[in-house]
Amino acid sequence: MKLKFSDNSIWIRKARVEDVNQIVGLVLNLYKIHSRLEEAYKIKSDTVCLSHIKKDLRKYFKKPKTRTILVCGNDEKIIGFADFWIERRNCYIYDKAIWIYEIHVDKNYRRKGVATRLIKEIARIAKRKRIKEIDLTCVPKNKESSKFWRRLKAKTISVNAVINIKDIL
């Protein structure tokens, strides 16, 4: 599934094994951004983080039906990715939703519609599968991503919280 856009320079497709090293770099970059913004997201080291990310991606390629990773790129390299899966929600009106775990675009390609293109492709997948909602988590201190989600009409319906044990004991 390789989709070309009107400018013919940007494409989206499912990730392949040979994309791992480029995806790893993008994921590490995302983790570093969140690490600077929030204490709870501090990473141990690049080496530990890279090892974990590669291990996680290897699992994905062994069982690709559990989640989907889309990559977006140009003729030179992968410039963004979205990692998501279908979540069953038997108690709610909509019994399925797509859950976006991570989405990230290389800083040199932001504000050019790349992330929006990834989200629109996820929405097309959802529509084909008769899914009516996309759920996600956003780090509020990440002003750039918060602004992006507001532009896409995302509404906050719940809040994740972290309690540091030292603060209550």
Domain boundaries, the chain: 3-167
Tens-place pLDDT, residues 117-126: 999 999 999 9
Closest CA to 125 of 165, 163, 69: 69
| pTM across the whole model | 0.85
Tens-place pLDDT, residues 131-154: 999 999 888 888 998 899 999 998
Is CATH 3.20.20.30 correct for 3-167? no
Cβ neighbours of residue 42 under 8 Å, at least 6 residues apart?
Answer: 35
